[in-house]
Structure formats: C-alpha cells, structure tokens
Amino acid sequence: MILLEYEAKKILSNYNIPIPRGVVIKKEDSLDTISLPCVLKSQVPIGGRGKLGGVKVANTATELTDIATQLFHHPIKGFTPSTLLKEEVIAIDKEFYLSLRINREMASIFLVAHTDGGVDIEEHPQETFYKKQVVSKHDVTSCGQTLAEYLGLEEKEFLLTEIIERLYNCFTREDATLLEINPLVLTKQNTLVAADCKMELDDASDFRHPDWEFEAKKHNANFVTLHEHGTIATVANGAGLAMATVDGVAGHNLLPANFLDIGGGANEASVYAAFQNIMQYPNIHGIVINIFAGITRCDEVAKAILQAKTKITNLPPLYIRLAGTNSDEAKKVLQAHDIILYRSLDDCLVAAKEATQ
Ligand code: GDP
Ligand code: MN
C-alpha cells in the first residue's frame, strides 16, 4: 500500500527524520488559526503533484481559503483529496533525491540518490544515479562518506549519515518496500529536510502492524508493484488468474507493472480504486483486464470501467476479457459505449502487443 504524504511523514518523524512543520487539514476544518505564508499540498497517493497544480503557496488569508477550496475540488489523475497538508514554507537552496527500495532481481535493499532531485527526477538517465546495495546497517553507515561526496554535501556528512541510518531503520522496521524522499532539501539555513515522502508498505506484513490504520488503505486492494516502469498494468480476480495474467503479459515480451487481485468481494468502488492505483505508473501503454467471475460480478467491473473512462484523463487503452457471473449484462453495457471486448486473455495480449509496436 502506498501511503499519503502526511501519513508517510508522520512515520518519518517517529524516526527523528527532519520534516517541515505541518498540520493536516480536512474539508470541515477551519483555517483561521493557520500561520502564513504556508504551502498547501493535495494528499493524493501519486507523485508529480507539483506539476499538476497540487502544491501551492498561500501568502494571505484570502489566498489560503481560495487555494484550499480549489485543491479540495481539483482531481489529480483521477484522485480528489479528502485531506490537505499545510506546511511551513521552506527556503530551498538545493534539492536532492534519496530513496531506499527493494530490488527484486537482486533480492536486496538499495540506496538510490541523485544530486538533482525535485519534480524532474524522471528525466535523469539511470547511470547518473548513485546506487548502493545495503544489506545491513553497517553498509548504510559506511556509505555515508561516498554519498556525501556524490551529493556535494561533504560538510554535512555526519548529518547525512544519521539521516540514511534512520531511513534504513524506518524502512526495515516498518516493512517498507519503497521509501523515497524527493526532494531532500538543503535549506538556505543550511539544514537538511525531507520535503516530500513517498512510502510503500508491504501489505503482506500487515499482521505485524496492528497500528496500521491509514487513509491510504481505502485506495488499495491486493496490489503489488512488479516493475515501476512497466508498460502493461493488470487487473484480474483471484490470485491464480492474476498470476496467470502477469505471466501472459511477460510471455508476450511486455513488461507487467503490477499484480492485482481485485478479490471476490470487489465492487464498482474498489475496482475504480484499482484504476486510480494504476495511474501512478509513468509508462503504462495498456491495461489488461482479465475477469473470470464467480463471486465477483462482471456488471460491477463494467461500471468501474465506465467510471474510469469518464473520470480519468489519459486513461491508457483497455484490453478486456470478461466471463462468468453477469457477463452478458456487463458486455451489453460496455458495448453500448463502444468498448471493445476480447474473447480470451491471449486475444487481449496480442492486441496490446500490436499496439505497442
Ligand atoms: P510532488 O510533485 O508530488 O513530488 O510534490 P513535492 O512535495 O515534491 O513538491 C513539488 C515541488 O514543490 C518540490 O520539488 C519543491 O520544488 C516545491 N516545494 C514544495 N514545498 C516547498 C516549500 O515549502 N518551499 C518551496 N520553495 N518549494 C516547495
Ligand atoms: Mn516530490
């Protein structure tokens, strides 16, 4: 599950990782007591909010009310926030990228950094990133010096080392699969602050964390990232069919972005949430939807598909195969909206492959 920024930052602060001072704002909250100027940030579970109008500075009380109202009504890639994060404005000298992530091929944790963090991080070639395999706390501590040199933060070596050690503690103890600070800011006051945070937790370790009560939970089903830069996203019901769908994608030499089992109790809202989740990936060229419905109802899936079609801008092409409970009804509805249906998973994949060539 991917946490919202304010949820992730709350966890960072438990590990004494420096974050900007801030408060969480819900729609019904009064804005009277808020100090100015401040930054207002839309709490949606995807990155790139800065470029999409989700991060704004308010200088006056009028601006604050206007911006808050605007952000609460401004969907970002299909997500409308129910929470805003209001933070002190930080004076940025430099922005860095810093993350810990699971590298599945290597079955290991990697520390990844870039000198040039911030909103354009996607544009840097892979080879310009600092990458270091860290299998123990000792590995983390011992790369403090080289990381400081790479980032040009030699004077900040001790602080930086302390930050990466704390991030590592946080990453391992919280069962994270991704902990990304972008940007890590060097302020004009010469301190380091985690100005933004994306944290993905391993749903499989939910049982170890009775405290995991996140707003982000409602956005997620059994959703696992496979390749962040994958080109094909998948939606299926049942773990077996979901795995077969991912295998099918890979078997056609396409890169699957995710595994998703919408589960037997899936309804329109939960399937729509799956589409929203998929929109977080930067490289999706197609979504393969493979439903063989028993308990799941195809008409609920169809309603979610129509909702996604109307509400989500830039929704990639859909390759849909529906069979089982209420599939006739679902097909009628979808075909009435000129949505193409395929007879089998293989037909979906052949079409997806053709479209990407
Ligand atoms: P994202 O676009 O979803 O990753 O959202 P971020 O929280 O990373 O914000 C995007 C960009 O807004 C950052 O890279 C900063 O350049 C800028 N930004 C965010 N907060 C502040 C702030 O307090 N002060 C200043 N000057 N810029 C900020
Ligand atoms: Mn960011």
User: Could you tell me which of 183, 96, 185, 99 has the C-alpha nearest to residue 134?
Assistant: 99
299 sits in the region (left: phi over 0; alpha: psi -120 to 50; else beta) called alpha
Atom of ligand 1 nearest to the CA of 117: 14
| Catalytically active residues, by annotation | 97, 180
Whole-structure pTM value: 0.75
Residues 327 and 304: beta-carbon distance below 8 Å: no
Cα 278 from Cα 315, distance rounded (Å): 10
CA of 119 to the centre of ligand 2 (A): 6
Average pLDDT, the chain: 93
Predicted confidence band of residue 220 (pLDDT cuts 50, 70, 90) = low
CA of 197 to the centre of ligand 2 (A): 7
Residue 330 is encoded by which pair of tokens?
A: 């679902």
- The residue whose CA is least distant from atom 17 of ligand 1 is 50
pLDDT digits 0-9 by tens, 23-47: 999 988 888 766 899 999 999 988 8
pLDDT digits 0-9 by tens, 144-179: 999 999 999 999 999 999 999 999 999 999 999 999
pLDDT recorded at residue 104 = 86
Strands of the chain, DSSP E: 22-26, 38-42, 55-58, 83-88, 92-103, 108-114, 130-133, 176-187, 192-194, 197-201, 222-225, 232-236, 258-261, 286-293, 318-324
In sign, the C-alpha dihedral spanning 119, 122, 126, 131 is positive
Residue 187 is encoded by which pair of tokens?
A: 């302020």
Q: What is the 3-state secondary structure (H, E, C) of 290-306?
A: EEEECCCCHHHHHHHHH
- The residue whose CA is least distant from atom 9 of ligand 1 is 50
pLDDT recorded at residue 12 = 98
Query: Rounded to 5 degrees, what are φ and ψ at 131?
Result: -135, 130
pLDDT digits 0-9 by tens, 61-76: 999 999 999 999 998 8
Query: Rounded to 5 degrees, what are φ and ψ at 287?
Result: -120, 120
Residues 199 and 98: beta-carbon distance below 8 Å: no
In sign, the C-alpha dihedral spanning 135, 138, 143, 148 is positive
Q: What percent of the chain has pLDDT over 90?
A: 78
**How do 192-194 and 108-114 pair as beta strands?**
unpaired
Residues 335 and 306: beta-carbon distance below 8 Å: no
Atom of ligand 1 nearest to the CA of 89: 23
Cα 356 from Cα 254, distance rounded (Å): 9
Helix, strand, coil shares, percent, the chain, to 5: 40, 25, 35
CA of 48 to the centre of ligand 2 (A): 7
Residues 224 and 259: beta-carbon distance below 8 Å: yes
* Inter-CA distances, 318 with 321, 341, 351, Å: 10, 9, 10
Residue 309's contacts (CB-CB under 8 Å, 6 or more residues apart) are 315, 337, 339
- The DSSP 8-state label assigned to residue 79 in this structure reads B
pLDDT recorded at residue 218 = 61
> 2 vs 133, which has greater pLDDT?
133
For ligand 1, which residues put their CB under 6 angstroms from it? 39, 41, 47-50, 55, 87, 89-90, 92, 95, 118-119, 182-183, 195-196
Dihedral of CA atoms 93, 94, 99, 105 in degrees, nearest 10, equals 180
Predicted confidence band of residue 217 (pLDDT cuts 50, 70, 90) = low
Q: What is the mean pLDDT of residues 171-188?
A: 97
Point out the ligand nearest to the CA of residue 54: 1
